[in-house]
A and B are shown apart, each in its own frame.
Chain A
Amino acid sequence: MHINKDTKISEIIKENIKAIETIASVNRNFKKLENPFLRKLFASRVSIKDAAKIGGTSANDILKKLEKIGFKVEISENKNELTEQNNTKLMKKDKVLTLDVRPILETGTDPYHAIMDTLKTMNSDETLLIVNTFEPVPLLNKLKSLGYDYEVERSDNNMVHTYLTKSENVEELKKEVKSADVNMTFEQAEEKYKGKMHEIDVRDLEMPMPMVTILQEVEKIADDEVLYVHHKRLPQYLLPELETRDWHYVNKEVDEDNMKFIIYKK
């Protein structure tokens, strides 16, 4: 199997179960992979590059180890992946709430809900500090798309501090949500369902695949989730069908070829 820094950990493990041991031997942060629960939690979401970030090492180190157990690897040119931080802005940290997720992880629970619940109860001027032994890359990727800013600090004793806060314009919209709940605007729905949105893009699909895809997705998503759809136009056949299935929607036209929908259950 050919692998590179973008290969998903789950694919590697599927190919060769020994890879778990090998990756775990890179450094002690990866010992977690030996725990089947955490492995399930992370392996499918992260690539080698992400894993390197989590473990505080470089993708090439992991790739070299995997080469020894028979994988054909493609070493990437960029040596300084560790310093590749997406965030250079200075974040205000006036009011910091601290959430240490290490005890949660010890019990074998996914800290995702704990983090999301805390974020929901926070005031807009507060910042959440997540204390952990690795950088929660899967979570950060998701939160970034939901309008959160984050900053990661690594300390010497293998501790990782992740600061999370909302960007300014998002906060203003949150106040509107409280006043108007029944006839939500698109922005209000966007704010209300933050973190619970399952996103799909049907713009490049041929008729009737956009409709089929959307209806299949609404049948699948969890009870508290909503569907965020990138569409080309107002789907005339889909809308009545959504209605008969008790789904509601708000939409926003970005331009002629681009319309966003949030589809939710009332």
Chain B
Amino acid sequence: MQAGLSTKNAPSPSVVLPHYAAGAIFFIIASVLLIFASHDLANTYIGPKILALTHIMVLGWVTIIIFGALYQLIPVVMEVKLFSEPLAHISFYSMIIGTVLLSYSFWNNYIGKTIYMEIGGGLIFLSVILFSVNVLFSALKTTNKTIENTFIVTAGGWLLLTVSLGILITMNLVFHFIPKTNLELLRIHVHFGIVGWFMMLIIGVASTLLPMFFISHKLNKQYLKFSYFLTNGGLIILAVLLYFDVNMWLKGAAGLIVLAGIIFFIKYNYDAYKKRLRKKLDIGMKLSVFAFIPLFLTLLFGILTVLNLDFLSKIQTSINTAYGVSLIFGFFTALILGQMYKTLPFIVWLKMYQDKVGKFKIPMPAHIYSEKVADWHYYSFLVAIFTLLIGIFAKESIIIQVSAAAFIITSVLYAYNTYKILFHKDQSEPLETK
């Protein structure tokens, strides 16, 4: 275990911090666009504005922050140096430009072969490839093959598949070489992206971070292993069934296998929550714990989406929309809002004060952001997500606009704290002599 430990594994903050800075901006943009997409969102789950909004949220907000957090986390949990920092920089900029171009193209209903979509999609593909290469090559060097790490590496593989399929779909619009409608392929694309990339990654990262911050010892890793085989196995079966469009009950069964896997993940983290030594939850953990409520809703709506039951046909569109919304605007967003407070202050603190610990009087990571502002956006976020779901089922764009207002408040307050942390100035003072 000792070899190579003397090298400094942590990446340069210049790799990690811009991700948090950009993510906060994309979240504000998405919240503003939600106002304009409210009418579409009240009626359908697919359309130019919804596609644009989804990709800003999923790529600009969730993926960019996860990339940044992973560049910091991988060296810690895998006990290796990040494979390449320049690749991480290139990946970051190509993701930002790609997301802007692709979303712009979607928003203006430029489906098909346009220069924006081609360049945007290409840049996102490049970004993802560079990220996956970075993760896989870093992971190759590790001797620390825990199940959490396996989740993260597997997620990288699914992400490659998701983006490849996305490219394939846009190309198929022109060349029609796959004898399937794009809506069918889109379903597989969405499930690879949601279950394969995001869920897999979230399971790996959350199962690493949450027990660490709850401070829970002696957890049953077996649950995570079950979760790994069930989610991956279920997803492969589901993809095959979706492609051949076999009857809905079989698809439902495959969905249930994935669901069982996710339940094992929830069980693992629930145990960590129950066994926690730190009884009082700070704002970061309060948001992270709350995230599990939209996760339950996602599972419920997800199953109903796959089953497509006759007696629910009147609200089926709303269910499908709510499935994506509770996952992206609910679960992912809550988890990122919360985990930002557990990771970013620490990273900045480390850069600023690492060499001063014990020699100077220094603030702690929790002191470099405003707790009050975080509390406010916790409540505005609760209002935002529940109003959004109500608006979708009520099919009322005005309710969705109210939600958008709450999301704007949330994202601005969140960005305020993010930038307060990023621009934190050294506050060390000489130690008082006794």
Interfacial residues, chain A to chain B (CB-CB below 8 A): 203-208, 211-212, 215-220, 232, 234, 236-237, 239-241, 243-244, 250-251, 253, 257
Q: Of residues B278, B358, B364, which shows the largest number of chain A Cβ atoms within 10 Å of its Cβ?
A: B358
A203 to B217 Cα, complex, angstroms? 9
Listed by A's residue number, 12 A-B pairs whose Cβ atoms lie within 8 Å are: A206-B213, A211-B357, A216-B358, A217-B358, A234-B5, A236-B10, A237-B76, A237-B354, A240-B6, A240-B10, A241-B355, A241-B357
With a cutoff of 8 Å between Cβ atoms, the chain A residues found around residue B9 in the complex are 236, 240
B6 touches A243 (CB 8 A): yes
A241 to B357 Cα, complex, angstroms? 10
B213's partner among A207, A232, A253 (CB-CB below 8 A) is: A207
A257 touches B5 (CB 8 A): no
A-B contact count (CB 8 A): 59
A216 touches B357 (CB 8 A): yes
Asked if B350 lies at the interface with its beta carbon under 8 angstroms from chain A, I say: yes
Chain A nearest CB from B365 CB (Å) reads: 6
B349 touches A237 (CB 8 A): no
Asked if B212 lies at the interface with its beta carbon under 8 angstroms from chain A, I say: yes
A206 to B350 Cα, complex, angstroms? 14
Asked if B108 lies at the interface with its beta carbon under 8 angstroms from chain A, I say: no
Query: With A236-B10, A236-B79, A257-B217 given, is the CB distance from A241 to B278 under 8 Å?
Result: no
With a cutoff of 8 Å between Cβ atoms, the chain A residues found around residue B359 in the complex are 219
B346 touches A207 (CB 8 A): yes
With a cutoff of 8 Å between Cβ atoms, the chain A residues found around residue B433 in the complex are none
A205 to B354 Cα, complex, angstroms? 17
With a cutoff of 8 Å between Cβ atoms, the chain B residues found around residue A212 in the complex are 357-358, 364
Kindly state the interface size class of chain B when it binds its partner. Answer: 20 to 34
Asked if B1 lies at the interface with its beta carbon under 8 angstroms from chain A, I say: yes
With a cutoff of 8 Å between Cβ atoms, the chain A residues found around residue B365 in the complex are 208
B5 touches A239 (CB 8 A): yes
Query: With A203-B217, A253-B1 given, is the CB distance from A236 to B76 under 8 Å?
Result: yes
B6 touches A239 (CB 8 A): yes
A208 touches B10 (CB 8 A): no
With a cutoff of 8 Å between Cβ atoms, the chain B residues found around residue A244 in the complex are 355
Q: B216's closest neighbor in chain A, by CB?
A: A257
With a cutoff of 8 Å between Cβ atoms, the chain B residues found around residue A257 in the complex are 217-218
Q: B78's closest neighbor in chain A, by CB?
A: A236
Which residues between 210 and 242 of chain B lie within 8 Å of chain A, taking CB atoms? 212-213, 215, 217-218
With a cutoff of 8 Å between Cβ atoms, the chain B residues found around residue A250 in the complex are 2
